[in-house]
Amino acid sequence: EAGVVQSPRYKIIEKKQPVAFWCNPISGHNTLYWYLQNLGQGPELLIRYENEEAVDDSQLPKDRFSAERLKGVDSTLKIQPAELGDSAVYLCASSTTGFHEQYFGPGTRLTVT
Amino acid sequence: AQTVTQSQPEMSVQEAETVTLSCTYDTSESDYYLFWYKQPPSRQMILVIRQEAYKQQNATENRFSVNFQKAAKSFSLKISDSQLGDAAMYFCAFNQGGKLIFGQGTELSVKP
């Protein structure tokens, strides 16, 4: 069984530029999550999708962050414009419905210069 | 609000020895799930073990086991026969309504 796939693995951009991250969850997993992990800390949830619907986006900074999950499979997380403080690892995870264990992708390390 | 606390930023263990990582949490819920995740330098979060709060029996997965004390809201991870490949950051996590709340992590090093 293929795991959660994320791309790119690394991204370096200048501040004020846009950036997008892509995630393909495990086949059959209806729930998809985006987490932000700052250096030396545990991940924090940005947004959770149940199929196509964003059911928890309370921690997503909506002035510059946006996300979509078209057709309830792949998802894209976008930042526009990026700020220096956005440098972090962005993790995608998926699970079956029912809030059980979540399976994570390898993450995207974003560096904003 | 639910919180998860890992009071040991760093731990060290000799290869083949046993080590215990501590975790406490705070919640008013009675039914929930707890997890330990391992994150090596590759950044891939790997599920190590899970515990359902309604189960009194402690979960075990090969060399990994937990000591779940519901009344004390404690959830420690024991790694037996430590191996070099166990070196990583370990995160305790609590499942709150579909959202994982993570602790700050414990960095485990394994000495040969």
User: Which token pair is A82?
Assistant: 């990026």
Q: Distance, in angstroms, between B16 CA and closest chain A CA?
A: 27
Chain centroid to Cα A78, Å, comes to 9
Element (H, E) at B94: strand B88-96
The pair phi, psi for residue B84, each rounded to 5°, is -55, -35
CB contact under 8 A, A101 and B35: yes
- CB count within 10 Å of CB A94 equals 24
Q: How far apart are the first and last CA of chain B?
A: 41
CB contact under 8 A, B33 and A99: yes
User: Which token pair is A75?
Assistant: 């998802």
Cα(B88)–Cα(B17) distance, integer angstroms: 16
- Digit-by-digit pLDDT tens for chain A (113 residues) are 689 999 999 999 999 999 999 999 999 999 999 999 999 899 999 999 999 999 888 889 889 999 999 888 999 999 999 999 999 999 999 998 766 789 999 999 999 99
